[in-house]
Amino acid sequence: MRKFLLIVLLLICNMLIFSNRLVYANQSFSVTFYVDGQIYDQFDEIPAMTYLFEVVSEMNPTATGKTFNGWFLTASYTQLISGANNNIEIDSNIAVYGYFETNGYTITFDSNGGTAVAAITQDYGSSITAPANPTRTGYTFTGWSPGLPSTMPSSDTTQTAQWSINSYYVYLNVEGGNYMAPVLYQYNNAVTEPSAPTKSGSTFLGWYFDPNYLDPFQAINMPAGHLTLYARWQDPDVYYTVSFNSNGGSTISPQNVLSGGTATHPPTAPIKQGHTFVAWYSDEGLTTEYGFTETVTGNLTLYAKYMINQYTITFNTNGGTLVPSITQNYDTVITQPENPTRTGYTFTGWSSVIPDRMPASNMTVTAQWQIIPVYFSVSFNSNGGSAVQSQSVLENSTASQPATPTRAGFTFLGWFSDVGLTTSFSFTTPITENITLYAKWQINSYNVSFNSNGGSAVQTQSITYNLTASLPTPPTKQGNIFVGWYQDVNLTVPFNFNTPITNHITLYAKWEADSAALVILSFDSNGGSLVDPITVVSGSTTQEPQPPIKANYIFVGWFSDQALTQAFNWNAPITANTTLYARWTADTSVIWTVSFNSNGGSPVANRSVENGSSVNPPQAPTRVGFMFDGWFTTIALSTPYTFSNPVTENITLHAKWVPISSGGGDPISEDPQTSEGSAGIYILLGVGVVIILSGLFSKKRRY
């Protein structure tokens, strides 16, 4: 019975379900599609009981640069309609929801040999910020190909850098030679060596990459920048002075350096108290160190740079409390330290005065103390030397080493504690009783040196104090006779070899010239100041005397012939009486004025002439009724001037005139009208004479 009821119930349920489907079978519904919140499309009259998945599968929206993410049952995009839930049937009007997700794309940059540029990855349609331009040695960036868009496109793209090759100039610094135009090269092209420039009086030595001529030209490819080549010349010998400003240090001698050469680093550094020399600099501000490899092309001053030294004052407290040492720069102010303390003693000061400013050396000062005064006597027996004052020394203290005594002819060897002079005394020994110290001496030996004053060498003698020297074999000297040995350089006090030697001495040889071997060197100054003759020993040389002086001339040198063609050699032996002749050259820096007094004629401009040069004759002046008869040096017109003569002073030349005479012997009037009429008469007379003579000659031909 129960089984029967169950079967009946199942039949009733199936009938209800079937009847319900029959109800919907004749109905239709709509499906509305929303995309990104907006109605995208709508399907109407969709039969009831149609599976929703089948309907939405037919609707696939698209959009450039975007991906559609499917259809959902809710506006919040939950419950994706997919094959997994394809059993949803449409039994009413329904809305489904979908949305697009913007895609991301990448622009890749091919720098085409330039610096790397990072790729750009962004959403489609977003604004693109152009990257910094790449760089490439020797090239100029001209843009991207096919062209960078302003917004991200809908696909990955590659942009390729476009370049234009650069050109650069090779500039030619001819260093005073003829101008040469710069040459244009493309980057990395081969640079060829330029042709040689020219420079008057100089020899071209080649092209260099640097102005100091350290890097000669060699074949290269054009770098990414302008290039300058420097011409190097061998100029006539010109020397420049390289001076050294020691900035308060010891003097360093200047150097004369050939133009184009290099200065030599001084072998010794300048010395400046409290400082250490660093280097030489080419500027007063001491910013540019000079390397002594630079080419010298003019007078130059180098400046010494120093580093200030530090020094230390150390305090030996001699049993007292510690006092820190002081380390400071030279010549800075010193702050006095606190005094040390010592049990049972009173501090009385330092062994050396602490200076107000740091000295130029390290120093140690020792604390001085005073204790309960128990003193002992330290006496000094000088054993024949100068007296030394005894000392009163505090018990367990040390005696001060006194000033060294003196004893003529002896050297002090020290103080000894015994009469037999076998035990040397140390002044670091604490004094615990009265003592006597004894001086020990060693007899001296002294050198007797012989200055032969140009003669043969004489050996030095070592003589024990108070003994006598031996008379040496006389020296010899060409052209001289040995007179004897003298105690003084001026040769006024003869030396007695019986004299006891008590000090180092030098004896000086005195000579008398052998008159048979003397020659005289005379000087003809050729108008210059007087130069005294020099007497020399035949076969020897002498130093050149102080040059003579001649106004407006420069002294060239001494010559052995009057024609001034043979320069005298001062290193050659003089073997006979000789006269030397001064050679001069005019000082062309002096300019003279030659003035012209036309004496009533047309004016003539003054001339400026270098000293020693001649002046060219000017255009002759004119004067009505007179004939110009030359230029004269005097107002009286007595001495004609020779224009080939050198000009050595300001001069005025005077024109001389000769009157032009008329037929009667009287000068022609200077009145212009009269002169003009007279000229006409003379012309007519001349023409008449010619006609008459022509007639006579013509008659003779007829016969």
CATH code of residue 579: 2.60.40.4270
What local confidence, expressed as pLDDT, does residue 478 receive? 83
Q: Tell me whether residue 6 is in a domain.
A: no
Q: Helix, strand, or coil here: 107?
A: strand
Residue 666: partners with Cβ closer than 8 Å, 6 or more residues away: none
What local confidence, expressed as pLDDT, does residue 693 receive? 44
Q: Tell me whether residue 361 is in a domain.
A: yes
Q: Which of 334, 349, 370 is the last residue of a domain?
A: 370
Q: Which of 443, 475, 492 is the last residue of a domain?
A: 443
What local confidence, expressed as pLDDT, does residue 698 receive? 40
What are the structure tokens assigned to 145, written together? 């190909």
- Rg (the chain; Cα; Å): 60
**Nearest residue to 393 via CA among 378, 371, 415, 372:** 378
Residues in the chain: 703
Whose tokens are 């224009």? That residue is: 643
501 and 554 inside one domain: no
Cα 643 to Cα 614: distance, rounded to the nearest angstrom:
6
Under a CB-based contact definition with an 8 Å cutoff, are residues 396 and 431 in contact?
yes
What are the structure tokens assigned to 541, written together? 């040389």
Considering the entire predicted model, what is its pTM? 0.34
436 and 479 inside one domain: no
365 and 408 inside one domain: no
Q: Tell me whether residue 389 is in a domain.
A: yes
Q: Can you give the residue range of the structural domain that contains 464?
A: 445-513
361 and 432 inside one domain: no
28 and 82 inside one domain: yes
What local confidence, expressed as pLDDT, does residue 702 receive? 32
Q: Tell me whether residue 1 is in a domain.
A: no
348 and 386 inside one domain: no
What local confidence, expressed as pLDDT, does residue 231 receive? 93
Whole-Å CA distances, 152 to 103, 108, 146, 334, 699: 10, 12, 14, 76, 126
Q: How many CA atoms lie within 13 A of 205 on its CB side?
A: 13
With a cut of 50, list the residues of the chain below it in pLDDT.
13, 16-23, 664-703
Find how far residue 422's CA is from the centre of its chain: 66
Cα 505 to Cα 444: distance, rounded to the nearest angstrom:
14
Q: ω into residue 548 within 30 of 0, thus cis?
A: no
Cα 304 to Cα 255: distance, rounded to the nearest angstrom:
15
Q: Tell me whether residue 665 is in a domain.
A: no
Q: ω into residue 146 within 30 of 0, thus cis?
A: yes
Q: Tell me whether residue 2 is in a domain.
A: no
**Nearest residue to 202 via CA among 257, 256, 259, 262:** 259
437 and 450 inside one domain: no
393 and 428 inside one domain: yes
Q: Which of 443, 470, 496 is the last residue of a domain?
A: 443
453 and 496 inside one domain: yes
Cα 415 to Cα 435: distance, rounded to the nearest angstrom:
12
Q: Helix, strand, or coil here: 52?
A: helix
pLDDT digits (tens, 9 = 90+) for 418-431: 999 999 999 999 99
Q: Tell me whether residue 7 is in a domain.
A: no
**Cβ neighbours, 10 Å, residue 157:** 17
Q: Tell me whether residue 382 is in a domain.
A: yes
What local confidence, expressed as pLDDT, does residue 688 receive? 45
Q: Helix, strand, or coil here: 497?
A: coil
Domain count, the chain: 10
pLDDT digits (tens, 9 = 90+) for 283-315: 999 999 999 999 888 899 999 999 999 999 999
Cα 644 to Cα 616: distance, rounded to the nearest angstrom:
8
